Amino acid sequence: MVSLPTAVVIGAGGGIGGAFVAALRNTGRYGRIHAFARTPPTSFSSVFGGQINVTNEESIAAAAMTVGSPVDLVLIATGMLHEGGRMPEKALRELDANTLARIFEVNTIGPALALKHFSPLLPKDRRAMIGVISARVGSISDNRSGGWFGYRASKAALNMIVKSAAIEIARSRPEAVCVALHPGTVDTRLSLPFQHGVAPDRLFSPERAARQLLDVIDGLKPIDTGKVFGWDGEEIQP
């Protein structure tokens, strides 16, 4: 009997991560969907809730052990832009070492450690996907307005982590695709303070964002591995 594929969503407590879990479930394509969040989601039918704090490597390693292999799809949808009322920097004078370290810890190091522990679970003999949610503002060539130093830099560094991971994964898993993804502006806690001025048709619901990104992922090929793609399927230059 051929078993249905397994998917993993890390950051399932967030707007986009939660919508990923629901969208994957709706496809009916996955036999098991492992949904990880800092507060473990409730398990039901094909969805298995578990705990990951991406700033705690032990929690990531333990979660990967519970999942086992093979895993056909890994989505990493964790991230932060503001925390505890501290908003992104508008100017150099606002830079703060602890805030910069924290945003790199969550946005760059956390997903890197998730790649470390979950990429070995990908099958070697068939297509497998890793999608890491990044952001267009992590593109250095696309930076025209400055500001948001920590967030921009943490996502640019994340894109580099994804690129190096993709090169390594391709050596043992030639059919695998590992990419960074920009979801567009999505109506979640993260974007809430910055939604003014966004045209209503450009503020996506988490459900729409998740569907769009899953469509993009579906269309990717091994030649695309290591790149950054937007919600519309267009490649974003570094």
Among 5, 13, 88, 226, binds ligand NAP (CB under 6 A): 13
Point out which residues pair with 75 in neighbouring strands. Answer: 9, 131
Beta-sheet strand order (sheet of 176-182): 47-51, 32-37, 6-10, 73-76, 128-133, 176-182, 228-230
Contact between 186 and ligand NAP (CB under 6 A)?
Answer: yes
First to last CA, the chain: 44
The answer to whether 56 and 112 have CB atoms below 8 angstroms apart is no
Q: Is 144 helix (H, G, I), strand (E, B) or coil?
A: coil
Closest CB to ligand NAP among 38 and 163?
Answer: 38
Write the interaction track for ligand NAP spanning residues 110-149; mark x where CB under 6 A is met and - where it is not: x----------------------x-x--------------
Among 33, 35, 74, 77, binds ligand NAP (CB under 6 A): 77
Q: How far is the CB of 4 from ligand NAP (least distance, A)?
A: 25
Give the other-Cβ count within 10 Å of 74's Cβ.
25
Query: Per CB under 6 A, does 108 bind ligand NAP?
Result: no
SS3 229: strand
For residues 31 to 50, the per-residue mask of contacts with ligand NAP, x marking binding by CB under 6 A and - elsewhere, is ------xxx-----------
Can you give the binding site for ligand NAP, defined by CB under 6 A?
A: 11, 13-17, 37-39, 52-55, 77-80, 106, 110, 133, 135, 182-183, 185-186, 188-191
